[in-house]
Amino acid sequence: MVVRCWLLLIATSNLKTSNQQQVMSQQKPKISTSFSYETLEETLDIKPKGSEMHIGIPKEIAFQENRVALTPDAVSVLISNGHHVTIEHNAGEASHFRDKDYSEAGARIVYDRAEVFKAPVLVKSAPIIEEDIPLLQFNQVIISPLHLSVLKASLLEKMMEKKITAISFENLKDDSDSYPIVRSMSEIAGSAVMLIAAQYLSSANHGKGVLLGGIAGIAPTKVIILGAGIVGEYAARAALALGASVKVFDNSVYRLKRLENNIGHRLWTSVMEPRMLAKQLKTCEVAVGAISNETGRTPMVVTEEMVSNMRPGSIVIDVSIDRGGCFETSEITSHEHPVFLKYGVIHYCVPNIPSGFARTASQAISNVLMPLLLEAAEEGGFEKLIWHKLHLRSGIYLFKGSLTNFYLSERFDLKYTDLNLLIASQR
């Protein structure tokens, strides 16, 4: 009896379920007349296909500039990726790169300077000068250094009139938020400093006649370095490798600690106290000025009196002379006439020391610019690249004629426009 009741309940339940399904199948779905149904779409930022790029490399006519922005090997890579490169005759001669090397790499050699400046993208190893302004094209992209010490407001205004997009490669940042070209040039300058000091300490160059190195039984040569940046670090490395006694001054304790950590050697370090600095300069053979300053003039920390108390025949190398110098007695010299005597002390005050090692410096610059150009082409131009790569915006001081560097706008009293707003308005 119990089994029959359970079977009856199950049969009744199944019957109700089948009836409900039949009713639901007969009913039509209700659609509201007030709105329509649409699929939701998501807008994606799709990168455009890579485009061909025409790059111009002029011969530098600026003072003491021997470097070239792209080496033949870098040009060969650009050509193989479908780009066009036009280079002026003998542009790489000072760096010992021949026209034949560029021609074999696939570049077009031209003898007319104006022909090079017709390229939409111009790559230079020296800043834009007044002689270049008439040759510039409207809406041109220029990649070059920016020397604040010689920059004029009239030059900026003329570039703004032509809607130029200007990128200073020394202010370009990489993915690690550092300045790759500045670091490379500083490494070259720091390593070269000790080679220069060793050369001018010899008796043939009216130096003290001492060897910049450690010899058993002889007190090591004393080297004073002002500044614990990249230049100071590599100068200290070279001096220590030769066996010299190194003492480093800097006002930042953090930079002094970082210097010791990077070298992996305990050094004599100190903040820049005038009395201590004057005492150490009296007994040193080499004094290197490697103080950096991002904006404005380098602070002058060594007075004329301090220099006059130095030993005759010792040498001063003022690496920061391109920003005014940190020795009061410093005066700009050239690669042809690099030194002068004052108070019996040899002064080496050549700006742009890496230009004296032009081939190495050119390769260092080219190693940064060539991948940048390839990446810009893949993104569809520099405007697209700047949109996707935020760290590159630090190097742009002109964007389609608008001044985007706040320091330059304050210095020359020109209108400033925020770069982020400009880029966003283009999207």
> Domains (ranges, CATH) in the chain?
54-171+357-426 (3.40.50.720), 185-351 (3.40.50.720)
Q: Are strands 245-249 and 222-226 parallel, antiparallel or unpaired?
A: parallel
Q: Which of 390, 400, 403 is closest to 426 using CA atoms?
A: 400
Q: Can you give the pLDDT at residue 32?
A: 43
**Starting at the edge strand that comes first in sequence, how are the strands of the sheet with 339-342 ordered?**
268-270, 245-249, 222-226, 286-289, 315-318, 345-348, 339-342
User: What is the distance of C-alpha 413 from the center of its chain?
Assistant: 26
Whether residue 237 is predicted with pLDDT greater than 80 in this model: the reply is yes
Whether residue 425 is predicted with pLDDT greater than 70 in this model: the reply is yes
Whether residue 320 is predicted with pLDDT greater than 60 in this model: the reply is yes
**Starting at the edge strand that comes first in sequence, how are the strands of the sheet with 141-144 ordered?**
108-110, 84-88, 54-57, 121-123, 141-144, 165-168, 396-399, 402-403
Whether residue 123 is predicted with pLDDT greater than 60 in this model: the reply is yes
Q: Could you tell me where the DSSP H helices lie in 297-354? A: 304-308
Percent with pLDDT over 70 in the chain: 87
pLDDT band at 22 (very low <50, low <70, confident <90, very high): low
The backbone region for 209, taken as left when phi is positive above 0, alpha when psi lies in -120 to 50, beta otherwise, is: left
335 is catalytic: no
Mean pLDDT calculated for residue range 310-333: 89
Higher pLDDT, 387 or 199: 199
pLDDT band at 8 (very low <50, low <70, confident <90, very high): very low
345-370 tens-digit pLDDT: 999 999 888 988 999 999 999 999 99
Distances in whole angstroms, Cα of residue 260 to Cα of each of 178, 197, 232, 268, 348: 20, 22, 11, 10, 27
Token pair of 357 as six digits:
């090692």
User: What is the distance of C-alpha 196 from the center of its chain?
Assistant: 25
Catalytic position from the list 147, 265, 337, 347 = 147
Q: Can you give the pLDDT at residue 369?
A: 93
Choice among 1-5, 128-132, 209-213, 234-238 with the minimum mean pLDDT: 1-5
Whether residue 33 is predicted with pLDDT greater than 90 in this model: the reply is no
Q: Which of 358, 113, 83, 326 is closest to 227 using CA atoms?
A: 326
Phi, psi of 244, deg, nearest 5:
-80, 160
User: What is the distance of C-alpha 317 from the center of its chain?
Assistant: 23
pLDDT band at 327 (very low <50, low <70, confident <90, very high): very high
Q: Can you give the pLDDT at residue 427?
A: 62
Q: Can you give the pLDDT at residue 1?
A: 45
Higher pLDDT, 11 or 340: 340
Q: Can you give the pLDDT at residue 124?
A: 92
Mean pLDDT calculated for residue range 17-40: 48
pLDDT band at 408 (very low <50, low <70, confident <90, very high): confident
Q: Which of 313, 243, 317 is closest to 285 using CA atoms?
A: 313
Q: Could you tell me where the DSSP H helices lie in 94-179? A: 99-105, 113-116, 153-161
Q: Can you give the pLDDT at residue 50?
A: 58
Instruction: Tell me the torsion sign for CA atoms 314, 319, 320, 322.
Output: positive
pLDDT band at 266 (very low <50, low <70, confident <90, very high): confident
**Could you say which DSSP state residue 353 is in?**
G
Higher pLDDT, 208 or 80: 80
Give residue 46's identity as a one-letter amino acid code.
I
Give the Cα separation of 7 and 410 in Å (integer).
94
268 by DSSP, 3-state: which? strand
pLDDT band at 178 (very low <50, low <70, confident <90, very high): confident
Compute the mean pLDDT over every residue in the chain, rounded to the nearest whole number. 84
Residues, the chain = 427
pLDDT band at 296 (very low <50, low <70, confident <90, very high): low
pLDDT band at 381 (very low <50, low <70, confident <90, very high): confident
Mean pLDDT calculated for residue range 95-112: 93
Distances in whole angstroms, Cα of residue 54 to Cα of each of 366, 376, 381, 389: 17, 12, 11, 22
Q: Are 106 and 85 in contact (CB under 8 A)?
A: yes
Give the Cα separation of 237 and 239 in Å (integer).
6
Write b or e for each residue in 252-262: b if 16 or more Cβ atoms lie within 10 A of its Cβ, otherwise e. Answer: eeebbeebbee
**The residue to which tokens 């029959």 are assigned:** 4
